[in-house]
Amino acid sequence: MDYETPQFYRVMQYAARADRDVVEMVSGSPDWDPPEAVRDGLSAYAEADADEFQYAPSRGLRGLRAAIAARHGVDEARVVVTNGAGEANHLAMTGGLERFDGGEILLPDPVYPYYAGRANFLGAETTFVPVESDGRLDPAAVRAAASSETAVVVANSPNNPTGAVYGEDAMAAFVAVAEENDALLVSDEVYSQFDYSGRFSSALAVESPNVVATNAFSKSMAVTGFRVGYAVFPPTDGPTGDLVERATTRHMLTNVSGSRPAQYAVQQAMERTDTAYYEAARERLQQRIGRFCEALDEAGATYTRPDGGFYVLARFPDFPGSFENAERLVDEAGVAGMPGAAFGEARADDLRFSLTTPRVETAAERLVEYFG
């Protein structure tokens, strides 16, 4: 599997070129508005003094870093503001490979393709741990797969693509596996605002020198194009206190710093957006999940209702989730989903539908008609 070239574009382009109306359920970009404070922040920045158009501190605008540190109850020195969750994961994974023995990265299967692509690009060995039938990674399976060769374990909760959410016990077990194998747990929590189960627990709840948590405002504020994310590294006075320094250096020598207008707007929005915005986004998605799962039932699909995130993985009878069938679904049903094969082997027969479209109702009707 060539994870280095994400396959999202292939299906999106096929759908865009189709000779009929298609509900696009491939991309993970929110279709709703960012908080008003994001727009206001950008407008205010546009009028700022000339010196505010110059380099932000490499680790991020001070107020933004302070707000992130306060949100997680950690020392500011542990926080690096990054170019989205993408760079946060990049810094965490490269840091883990450099700092811990072994050259192997443990990944869930199905896997968010960027993790696997990055692992391949970095020349790491990859070992995939298949999820259970309900879409969750069993900590015991991760423990069985881990060894002294393991340098990095990646967990993602709420999960893309399965919708699984890991509670406190599961997260503690993942941390323990990392500690027992002298490895780094990279906990990608970019969907943390989209937990419908009330069970989500950050890996930072466990005090450990073997954990880096990554996150971003891309999904929570519907600004995937801004590229404002962050990583929280282990305490600087602990045995892996050098991880944050190394990541800071890598970040500086790769990007110098992040984009300041975007950081400024996000900082404003952190201060001035009340919880109603996030609740409305969750409610919108829960309604869509409800409607879409109803249709899946009618269409005879096998699936697990997501506990978090934007996505539903579903398997239709006699319709494996190949690229060929994803294209057929575009042409014949007018719905574009992502082939399960793009996420690995464990769910190669599924299709992933992103609920980031106002046309979930239309898609639901079309799938019922096509499969029902």
Provide the minimum distance between the beta carbon of 224 and a copy of itself in the complex, in angstroms, as a whole number. Answer: 5
Residue 154: half-sphere exposure toward Cβ, Cα within 13 Å: 34
What element of type H or E holds 115?
helix 113-121
Task: Please count the residues of this chain forming the interface with a copy of itself, following the rule CB under 8 A.
Answer: 55
**Nearer to a copy of itself (CB atom), residue 221 or residue 293:** 221
| Strand order through the sheet with 104-109 | 79-82, 229-232, 211-216, 184-188, 150-156, 104-109, 125-130
Positions 94 through 133 that interact with a copy of itself (CB under 8 A): 114, 117-118, 121
**N- to C-terminal Cα separation, the chain:** 32
Positions 3 through 32 that interact with a copy of itself (CB under 8 A): 4-6, 27, 29-32
Say whether residue 253 binds a copy of itself (CB under 8 A): yes
Say whether residue 265 binds a copy of itself (CB under 8 A): yes
89 with 251: CB under 8 angstroms? Answer: no
Say whether residue 55 binds a copy of itself (CB under 8 A): yes
Provide the minimum distance between the beta carbon of 324 and a copy of itself in the complex, in angstroms, as a whole number. Answer: 25
Q: By CB under 8 A, which span of 147-155, 207-215, 244-252, 338-346 interacts with a copy of itself?
A: 244-252
CB atoms within 10 A of CB 50: 6
Instruction: Select from 255, 286, 322, 362 the one that contacts a copy of itself (CB under 8 A).
Output: 255
The position carrying tokens 């968010």 is 112
> Residue 172 and residue 178: Cα distance in Å, rounded?
10
Provide the minimum distance between the beta carbon of 295 and a copy of itself in the complex, in angstroms, as a whole number. Answer: 25
Positions 167 through 226 that interact with a copy of itself (CB under 8 A): 222-226
> Residue 347 and residue 366: Cα distance in Å, rounded?
23
> Residue 88 and residue 218: Cα distance in Å, rounded?
12
> Residue 290 and residue 370: Cα distance in Å, rounded?
19
Positions 79 through 98 that interact with a copy of itself (CB under 8 A): 83-84, 86-87, 90
Instruction: Select from 60, 110, 258, 334 the one that contacts a copy of itself (CB under 8 A).
Output: 258
**Nearer to a copy of itself (CB atom), residue 55 or residue 144:** 55
How far is residue 265 from each of residues 42, 118, 272, measured CA to CA in Å? 5, 29, 10
Where on the phi/psi map is residue 244: left (φ > 0), alpha (ψ -120 to 50), or beta?
Answer: alpha
11 with 326: CB under 8 angstroms? Answer: yes
Provide the minimum distance between the beta carbon of 223 and a copy of itself in the complex, in angstroms, as a whole number. Answer: 5
Instruction: Select from 207, 256, 287, 328 the one that contacts a copy of itself (CB under 8 A).
Output: 256
Pattern 329-358, a copy of itself, x by CB under 8 A: ------------------------------
Residue 128 β-bridge partners: 107
Nearest residue to 332 (alpha-carbon basis) of 1, 2, 14, 20: 20
**Nearer to a copy of itself (CB atom), residue 184 or residue 216:** 216
Binding residues for a copy of itself (CB under 8 A): 4-6, 27, 29-34, 38-40, 42-43, 45-47, 50-56, 83-84, 86-87, 90, 114, 117-118, 121, 222-228, 249-250, 252-262, 265
